[in-house]
Structure 1
Amino acid sequence: MDAVVHNVGIPNGAQLLVVNVVAPYLLTSLIQRPKRLIYLSSSMHRGGRASLAGMDWTGRTSTGCYSDSKLFVTTLAAAVARLWPEVYSNAVDPGWVPTNMGGPSTPDDPRLGHLTQEWLATSDDPEVLNSGSYWHHQRRQEPHPAVNDTRFQDLLLAELARATGTRLAGSCPRPISDSPRGNVRT
């Protein structure tokens, strides 16, 4: 495969973490590595909590919020970029576009909702040939500080591996901390 775009998300409910975080983690862990991975994030990831304490990755109970889930998937993209240097892995904020989830009166142009993902998946522009970035409308932006915290990345990967029974190749078999569900202050 040339590229995989993890383009799924739900705004709330018990399945929030399963759909927004566990599914992209498992797909990434189980497929043959593509040349490029693109994970859909949101500017709301900046309001997420860099804490894995109490998260239910099974979807039986509602834990975490949309912002938390987008912080986690953005962190996953950065972790993959670090661990798999031969793969271009990036996160994208598509903007607030008119979709079933965004609603009909959103301010962004609908074309902008997919333009950056297409560009990252297909372009040979030197700007695109990088990994570990967070993008919004074809421009790099600074993500939440926890995204690039390698300790938090390792904690998240270890927790997802524990919850799913599937380890991402190249990740540490155990978290690098006293507690696999610890908090990271940023």
Structure 2
Amino acid sequence: MDDSDDGGPRRIELASHKDFAFLIANVRAAAAEHLHAAFPPQSNGGEDELRNEIEAIVDSPSRSGSRKSSIPPMPSEEASISYEPFDAEKRARVAALVSQEEALLEQVAAMKRAGALDAAATGRGVDGSDALLLLLLPPPLERQEGVEERFRGAVGALGRLKRDMPSVVAKMERARVAGEYVRDER
């Protein structure tokens, strides 16, 4: 299969990572030759900023890979697993930390239970002091009951209106259509 249809270079298939490293080294050497030809070193020994920037671009690792190259997967070396010898001090430290964690969890659970009991006791204390709260409340208004009754009646009427409104609108629409029909028949 030839990838040269798109006008670019053909795809390079490499057999190993060493082939890739060899190609990169050759490309960098050729780039260095062209760089020396285009930007010869200065005779006074000074730094050439443009030359340094171009060298940095040529040597950058981001330029080392290409989408036109592929390296088949090579068998990788298995990572060797090494075990540390048993350490009694570390085992004791782990056991101490586990017991400390359990103690802290028990403390948290006890605090949750105590908090709930305190809240319940506080609630019971408020219930006992209702008489004191009644003394602190202002006296009821003279027309309070009448105002509340009228408000409940208005809320009920609005509820009925909201419930009945769609049927009333439908009746009005039917009446309008019937009126237009009678008017057009004459």
TM tier relative to shorter chain: under 0.3
Q: Which has the larger radius of gyration?
A: 2
TM-score, normalized by length of structure 2? 0.18
Identify the structure with bigger relative contact order (alpha carbons < 8 Å, sequence gap 6+): 1
Scaled by the length of structure 1, what TM-score is found?
Answer: 0.18
Higher strand share: 1
- Higher share of residues assigned helix: 2
